[in-house]
Amino acid sequence: MIIFRLSIPYLYPIMNLRFVWVLIFFLILGNRSIAQEINPQVVPVTMFYDQNWQVTVKEKASFIRVGSLDTVRLKFMGKVTDFYANGTPLLQVNYLETGKDGAFQTSYSNKKLEQRGIFLKDKPVGTWEYYYASGKPWQTVEYLENGDFKVLAFYDTTGQQLVKDGTGPWYSKMRAQIKGIDFTVNITGNWKEGKRIGQWKATQKNGKSVFEELFEAGVLKEGKLFDVFTGRPSSNYIEKENPKIGTFDFVYHAEALNPSPSFLTKERAVRYILRKEHLLPAILESITYTENVEKMPEFPGGMAALYKFIRDNFRVPADVSRRRESMDGTVVLSMTVGSEGKVANIKVERSFTPSIDQEVIRIFKIMPTWYPGIQNGRAVSVKYTIPYRVSIKY
C-alpha cells in the first residue's frame, strides 16, 4: 500500500482512461479468481451408513443417502433422500445454507410414518407428530422459538394416553449434548400445562445417571451432572449451563460424517465418498408415461430399488476411465414394459456420450422382470421416458 501511494506521482502523467479501465479489469478478474478458489464445490454423492449411522462401504450399508455434498465445508446442500438398504424410503429433507429447511418426515422400514414437521434454519418449528411403528400415535410436540419444546400429547405403546393437553407423565429417548459431548439418554419427567414440573432424570442405557433436574412451573431450580463412567455426582449447574436436548439422533449423526471401523478416520471416509463413481437417480416427477393406465408398472421394490439396481451395476466405460475426466450429464432413455413385465424397445432419446449411453442400455437389458401395468383388470404394455443423471468424479 505504501509503494502504491509513492508511485502515484510518477504514474499520473502517463495514466489515461484506457489504462484505468485495464487496471480495473485485472482487479475484477483477480477477485473472481479468488472467489472461485474459496467457493465451495457441491457434487452429487451416494453415501452408505452402517446401523450406527457411521459412514461405511457399500457392502456393509444399512442405510443409503442420495444428495449433494459441499466438499469444502462438508455440508449437505439441496434435496437429500435416505433409504433403507432394501430401497425402502426412510427420509426426505432439503438443505439450505442455514441447514435443514422445509417439510421433513421419516418412515419406518415397514413404510409407516414415523414423524413429520417443519424445519426452519436447521431448527424444528411448530407442531410435530410422532408415531409408533404400528401406526398408532406416539406423541405431539410443539417446538418453541427459544429452542425449547413442550409435549402436548403422549401415548404409551398400548395406546393409553399419558400426557393430555400438556399435562401428565412422559418418557423418551433423546440426544443430549453436555460440554460439547453427545449422549443418547432416556429421559423421564412430568408436564403440567406444557411446563416441566418436579424431578426430571436422564440415564444411559446401562442405567447410570447422566443428569437430574428440578423444575417449578417450567423454571429450572436445580441441576446436577453425573460422571458418565462412575454414575456419581460431579457438579451442579444453573439454567444457562443446562444440557442441550434434541431429537433427530440419526439425522444428526448422518450429517456429522462419522467414520465406521471400515475407515477409522473421517478423512478416509470422505475420500471414499468422493472418489467412487456417482450415479444419481432421476427426479421422480421427471419420469413420464405415454399411456394413462389404472396402475403403472413397478420395478420390484419400487423406484428406489430401481435406482439402486442401476447404481450397483453401472461400470465406468473403458474410454472414460482411460481419459480420467470428470463428467456430469444426463442420458434420457425410453423403454416399454410389456404385459409380462419384460423391458423392451430401449432407445436413447437424448445422448450423453456414446459409451455411457451403451452402458445404461446394457443395464436396462439385464433388468429383472417388472410388475406390469394394469388397465381394466388386464396387464398391458406401458412406455416410459426416464432421464438418468450420471456424475463421474476423478
How far is it, in rounded angstroms, from Cα 107 to Cα 89?
A: 7
Residue 153's pLDDT is 96
- Under the banding of pLDDT at 50, 70 and 90, the label for residue 146 is confident
- Under the banding of pLDDT at 50, 70 and 90, the label for residue 215 is very high
Of 49-58, 126-135, 229-238, where does mean pLDDT reach its minimum? 229-238
Residue 351's pLDDT is 87
Of 71-80, 92-101, 235-244, 368-377, where does mean pLDDT reach its minimum? 235-244
Q: What is the mean pLDDT of residues 114-130?
A: 92
How far is it, in rounded angstroms, from Cα 145 to Cα 120?
A: 11
Q: What is the mean pLDDT of residues 102-118?
A: 92
- Under the banding of pLDDT at 50, 70 and 90, the label for residue 145 is confident
SS3 55: strand
All domains of the chain, ordered by start, with CATH?
A: 2-38 (no CATH), 42-268 (no CATH), 277-392 (3.30.2420.10)
- Under the banding of pLDDT at 50, 70 and 90, the label for residue 320 is confident
* Contact assessment for residue 215 and residue 192, using Cβ atoms and an 8 Å cutoff: no
How far is it, in rounded angstroms, from Cα 194 to Cα 143?
A: 11
Alpha-carbon distances, residue 37 vs 25, 32, 33, 72 (angstroms): 19, 9, 6, 10
| pLDDT single digits (tens) 53-93 | 999 988 899 999 988 888 778 899 999 999 999 888 999 89
Q: What is the mean pLDDT of residues 107-119?
A: 92
More confident residue, 322 or 57: 57
- Helices 354-365 and 303-313, interaxial angle, to 10°? 120
Residue 353 has pLDDT above 60, yes or no: yes
Residue 1 has pLDDT above 80, yes or no: no
Residue 393's pLDDT is 65
Residue whose C-alpha is closest to residue 55's, from 74, 79, 78, 77: 74
Of 48-62, 135-149, 229-243, 349-363, where does mean pLDDT reach its minimum? 229-243
- Under the banding of pLDDT at 50, 70 and 90, the label for residue 240 is low
In the chain, what is the straight-line distance between the N-terminal and C-terminal CA atoms, in Å?
41
| pLDDT single digits (tens) 256-291 | 898 988 887 888 888 788 765 444 443 333 444 455
More confident residue, 118 or 232: 118
How far is it, in rounded angstroms, from Cα 225 to Cα 234?
A: 6
More confident residue, 356 or 292: 356
- Under the banding of pLDDT at 50, 70 and 90, the label for residue 35 is very low
| pLDDT single digits (tens) 160-212 | 999 999 999 999 888 777 766 667 888 999 999 999 999 999 888 888 888 89
Residue 304's pLDDT is 72
Residue 31's pLDDT is 39
State the chain's mean pLDDT as an integer.
79
More confident residue, 372 or 39: 372
Q: Which amino acid is at 271?
A: R
* Contact assessment for residue 375 and residue 293, using Cβ atoms and an 8 Å cutoff: yes
Residue 292's pLDDT is 62
More confident residue, 221 or 183: 221
